[in-house]
Copies of this chain bind each other. A is one copy, B any other.
Amino acid sequence: MDVSAHSLIEELKEFLRSDQISTNETILERHSKDESYHRNSFPDLVVFPETTQEVSGIVQIADRTETPIIPFGLGTSLEGHVIPYDKGMTIDFSMMDQILEIKENDFLVKVQPGVTRSQLNKALKKYGLFFSVDPGADATLGGMASTNASGTTSVKYGVMKDQVHDLQIVHPDGEVIHTGNSARKSSSGYDLNRLYVGSEGTLGCITELTLRVYGIPEHIMAARATFSSLNDAVNAVVAILQSGLSIARVELVDEDSIRQVNRFSETNFSEKTSLFLEFHGNEAGLKSDLSFMEDIVKDYNCEDLQYEHDHASRNKLWEARHNLAYAYVHGFPGRKLMVTDVCVPISQLGSAISYGRELMEKCRLTGGILGHVGDGNYHALLMIDMQDKDEVKRAEDFNEWIVKDALQRGGTSTGEHGVGFGKMKYQEQEHGAALEVMKKIKSSLDPKGIMNPNKIFQRKVST
């Protein structure tokens, strides 16, 4: 940064109120970290814009002074995305939390980036609509777009990339652009929507999102299936997918994780490796799907199949699943969360998870295996004692081996959490020469490297 925080603040005060600018230690601390094990680092200051114009003004100052900008939603990311390793200005979008428009006939909503997924779903309910992407955290939609988040329903409805129709972006020079439109499809020019979704704040600030929403299904049925072996559970999922059954959710939760769920969410689920399943459709079609599913899980030695018949018990099931990471954090006070996030081709899922399970024991690490197995995306959720250098080293090695294994299987280092700081070191191995293409795009759109530096790529030292 070429200028002091003090002179930045003077410039900011020309269009922001003083309560929109903070150098308060508590505020800086809250913006120094995410929910993961990554070491924290304080920004120089935090700003709280209320309009796109204000964001543009902030970014113009940053451009002129070559000050790093870190867009911040709720800080629920897991790879250090919002940590200001290069200091600079954190833009906190919590004051931009308005649902601007619900176009129910077009199945579209327009929101500001600080709206959370649960806030949106609450507003959509009275229209018979819902927003499908549901990561564990009640994250902001701006943050979810930035990391291309997904969730339990992605096997049916897709990931953030599939929901974003248009973004309003404040470009690194302060210019405001739109990346899309309100049509269902377009072949007009380069797909900027999908370039900005998942770009983790490294290309600009998201100040508005137009998102696809769905009608709440006519009938929903959820179930828990337990298995005595992890292999059987995974193979049942592969068989369900290959049968062509239209499944809406299928989550793997291993024995250790079920124990954490029961403790934290006060559920009484059988403490066995489980699949949490859900099907959407019309009543007759659903009945036929469920009977087919029952046949398949029986073939894979399912020990018990419990349906969650009513709305309340279904909600309880998915809330427990969403809170799983918090259950672990709560269960291991003083420890930090490290989550692997690889995604592999479906045919590789069984052997990849077996490898992960064995490696976790070999590395003497505490945690569980779970994941959105319908997409081939599984997580090893580890609770690390950051004071124990040897344990930290074992956990980091484990993470690296899991990534290497996934890449060898034709998969990816991150299915949904994003690269941030934590997965930066795997980018060259994963993308090879394509990483240079990404770097060229970054340099051409953010030549000064001010947008969320040291995320995805190392910051280019300005010359």
Contact = CB atoms under 8 A, between A and B. Distances in A.
Interface in A47-74: none
A333 interface: no
A27 to B, nearest CB: 28
A417 B187 contact: yes
Given A103-B347, A106-B346, A187 B416 contact: yes
A interface residue count range (under 10 / 10 to 19 / 20 to 34 / 35 or more): 35 or more
A105 interface: yes
Report the copy number of this chain in the oligomer. 2
Contacts of A445: 437, 440-441
Contacts of A189: 198, 419, 427, 430-431, 434-435, 438, 456
Contacts of A411: 181-183
Contacts of A285: 281-282, 284-286, 288-289
Nearest to A431: B189
Contacts of A437: 171, 177, 192, 445
A335 to B, nearest CB: 25
A183 B410 contact: yes
A26 to B, nearest CB: 31
Interface string A397-415: 0000000001000111111
B198 A150 contact: no
Given A185-B416, A188-B423, 16 more contacts: A150-B187, A178-B432, A179-B434, A183-B376, A183-B415, A185-B343, A185-B412, A187-B414, A187-B418, A190-B195, A191-B191, A191-B197, A194-B194, A281-B285, A282-B285, A437-B445
Interface of A: 103, 105-108, 147-150, 154, 159, 161-162, 171, 175-179, 181-192, 194-195, 197-199, 215, 217-218, 238, 242-244, 246, 281-289, 292, 341, 343-347, 375-377, 406, 410-419, 423, 426-427, 430-435, 437-438, 440-445, 456
